[in-house]
Chains A and B, each alone.
Chain A
């Protein structure tokens, strides 16, 4: 689990960490839009440059960013192959035997890949610098207008934050049950398909029963401490927009504006 970097929070202190989660969420949406609009490499370069500055300010190492790309490599290769086979416009770049690879195939793939990499970096910037609880608070705030159509914004946020809180516990539990089953001779790595299925079942069944028990007990604990879904409650974490948050959102808006304008003028 430790090699999973995408979406991981890095608990350090930095300028980016200090920004309001709502500002970062709004910034994320603006930036992702900005990445999708342009057709010019100059704009991608500009975005990449500004993003690097932001990552630097967030004290996120280049290693983490590169690692977060890793899961995408297979997909990129796949994309390249498909594009090479199907795109038949532009000049011929080179030929392999009788098979010609066209310039547009490479160019199209590069566009998609660059967009993907930028998107992943932007998302990493958000998740690495925002603790999950603040992120949920931010999402709840963004969803609040939907209360008009009776969307349970608070309940959804509470659910997400509890899920986040219990992920480590459930992982720990999975390990515990796996070890217990291993010591009873269940083999998770080898064996026929049918054996594998029964091994997985020997893990899933107790895991679910424990998870349900946890859920009931947690519900009791929450209720006993006065929690009533939908009832008015105050907040320990009060989100507050400050000057830097507005500045950050302004910069993101400016980038989106530039990238939209670039479609017309570049």
Chain B
């Protein structure tokens, strides 16, 4: 059975229109799922519904066999973490170690066990030297890593990233993406849902969901999603550069299979030298 089951979920902030509109899909254990779509297409709303931060009034969401509702939410939250976009607005403690401790305190971990856990996860995100730092002395990327450490310390099965890299500088983006890829590669233990505008990240994922005006527009392997350039253009979503290159060559009857520029050039050179 799927780890997360979403069935006919709708949500409206006001009467004018549904921010999320009849969305259904499943997420398998250990998968790395990306969600893309325009600004305002309902991605964050969907994430908040899964995390139980908004009440589900229509449809249902089941996480690890438990329906997301008032009764189960406390338990679900011990298994599901969410990293938000703005690094400042999720830094709760006054220092790095206090912030990592925040979730542990809520989970009622014994005080004497906390230091060891905090050190372990600070090390995982490479912040061992920063444990006593205050948020104003950290970069955006470092603050996001603190948020991730705080969530990992609670040993979740599922982590949702809601545009966790979009407010960061290129260096910060790279750091966080590397962390996410490492987590995704760490096996079946962690399932990742990542809301992103980063096409390169989408191509790394196992599954891609395209939302458009609250509705599920496409759901497929990322290569498949981008192959259907026509369909993406319908909703004016950008096709990644690499797919544009593939398309141009396809028109000349040259089929390229590689998923990165390097590989394509390789393929081209190989096919060129054969002639």
Give the nearest-CB partner of B109 in chain A: A234
Tell me if A225 and B106 are in contact (CB < 8 A): yes
Task: Report the separation of the CA atoms of residues A238 and B101 in the bound assembly, to the nearest whole angstrom.
Answer: 12
Tell me if A217 and B154 are in contact (CB < 8 A): no
Of A164, A223, A225, the most chain B CB neighbours within 10 A belong to A225
Residue B234 CB within 8 A of the other chain: no
Tell me if A220 and B102 are in contact (CB < 8 A): no
Tell me if A235 and B105 are in contact (CB < 8 A): yes
Q: A217-B89, A221-B90, A232-B108 are in contact. Are A226 and B48 (CB under 8 A)?
A: no
Tell me if B92 and A236 are in contact (CB < 8 A): no
Of A161, A214, A235, A238, which contacts B94 at CB under 8 A? Answer: A161
Task: Report the separation of the CA atoms of residues A235 and B110 in the bound assembly, to the nearest whole angstrom.
Answer: 8
Task: Report the separation of the CA atoms of residues A238 and B114 in the bound assembly, to the nearest whole angstrom.
Answer: 11
- In the complex, which residues 209-256 of chain A have their Cβ closer than 8 Å to any Cβ of chain B? 213-214, 217-218, 220-228, 231-238
Tell me if B74 and A228 are in contact (CB < 8 A): yes
Stretch at the interface among B12-20, B78-86, B267-275: B78-86
Q: Is the interface of A mostly helix, strand, loop or mixed?
A: helix
**Which residues of the partner chain B approach A195 to less than 8 Å between Cβ atoms?**
none
Residue A107 CB within 8 A of the other chain: no
Task: Report the separation of the CA atoms of residues A235 and B98 in the bound assembly, to the nearest whole angstrom.
Answer: 10
Q: A132-B94, A226-B106 are in contact. Are A236 and B151 (CB under 8 A)?
A: no
**Which residues of the partner chain B approach A162 to less than 8 Å between Cβ atoms?**
92
Tell me if A226 and B53 are in contact (CB < 8 A): no
Residue A155 CB within 8 A of the other chain: no
CB distance from A176 to the nearest CB of B (A): 12
Q: How many residues of A contact B (CB 8 A)?
A: 31
Q: How many residues of B contact A (CB 8 A)?
A: 39
**Which residues of the partner chain B approach A234 to less than 8 Å between Cβ atoms?**
104-105, 108-111, 114
- In the complex, which residues 44-77 of chain B have their Cβ closer than 8 Å to any Cβ of chain A? 48, 51, 53, 74, 77
Tell me if A220 and B53 are in contact (CB < 8 A): yes
Tell me if B111 and A165 are in contact (CB < 8 A): no
Tell me if A227 and B106 are in contact (CB < 8 A): yes
Residue B135 CB within 8 A of the other chain: yes
Tell me if A228 and B106 are in contact (CB < 8 A): yes
Residue A91 CB within 8 A of the other chain: no
Task: Report the separation of the CA atoms of residues A214 and B134 in the bound assembly, to the nearest whole angstrom.
Answer: 18
Encoded as 1 (CB less than 8 Å from any A CB) or 0, chain B from 124 to 143 comes to 00000000001110000000
Number of A-B contacts (CB under 8 A): 92
Task: Report the separation of the CA atoms of residues A234 and B134 in the bound assembly, to the nearest whole angstrom.
Answer: 22
Give the nearest-CB partner of B90 in chain A: A221
Tell me if B77 and A226 are in contact (CB < 8 A): yes
**Which residues of the partner chain A approach B78 to less than 8 Å between Cβ atoms?**
226
Task: Report the separation of the CA atoms of residues A252 and B78 in the bound assembly, to the nearest whole angstrom.
Answer: 46
**Which residues of the partner chain B approach A237 to less than 8 Å between Cβ atoms?**
98
Of A133, A235, A236, the most chain B CB neighbours within 10 A belong to A236
Residue B103 CB within 8 A of the other chain: yes
Task: Report the separation of the CA atoms of residues A28 and B94 in the bound assembly, to the nearest whole angstrom.
Answer: 24
Give the nearest-CB partner of A227 in chain B: B106
CB distance from A226 to the nearest CB of B (A): 4
Give the nearest-CB partner of B95 in chain A: A133
Task: Report the separation of the CA atoms of residues A214 and B109 in the bound assembly, to the nearest whole angstrom.
Answer: 28
Tell me if B92 and A225 are in contact (CB < 8 A): yes
Task: Report the separation of the CA atoms of residues A225 and B135 in the bound assembly, to the nearest whole angstrom.
Answer: 18
Residue B42 CB within 8 A of the other chain: no
CB distance from A190 to the nearest CB of B (A): 31
**Which residues of the partner chain A approach B104 to less than 8 Å between Cβ atoms?**
234, 236
Give the nearest-CB partner of B150 in chain A: A225
Task: Report the separation of the CA atoms of residues A164 and B151 in the bound assembly, to the nearest whole angstrom.
Answer: 23
Of A133, A231, A232, which contacts B98 at CB under 8 A? Answer: A133
Residue B231 CB within 8 A of the other chain: no
Residue A97 CB within 8 A of the other chain: no
Of A217, A221, A238, the most chain B CB neighbours within 10 A belong to A221
Task: Report the separation of the CA atoms of residues A228 and B108 in the bound assembly, to the nearest whole angstrom.
Answer: 12
Of B74, B92, B108, B154, which contacts A165 at CB under 8 A? Answer: B92
Q: Which A positions have Cβ atoms within 8 angstroms of B? A: 131-133, 161-162, 164-165, 168-169, 172, 213-214, 217-218, 220-228, 231-238
Q: Which B positions have Cβ atoms within 8 angstroms of A? A: 48, 51, 53, 74, 77-78, 81-82, 84, 86, 88-94, 97-98, 101-111, 114, 118, 134-136, 147, 150-151, 154
Query: Could you pull out 15 A-B pairs where Cβ atoms are within 8 angstroms?
Result: A162-B92, A165-B92, A165-B93, A217-B90, A220-B53, A221-B92, A222-B92, A224-B81, A225-B77, A225-B102, A226-B77, A226-B78, A234-B114, A235-B111, A236-B118
Closest 8 CB pairs of A and B: A236-B101, A226-B106, A221-B90, A217-B89, A225-B103, A168-B136, A233-B105, A224-B82
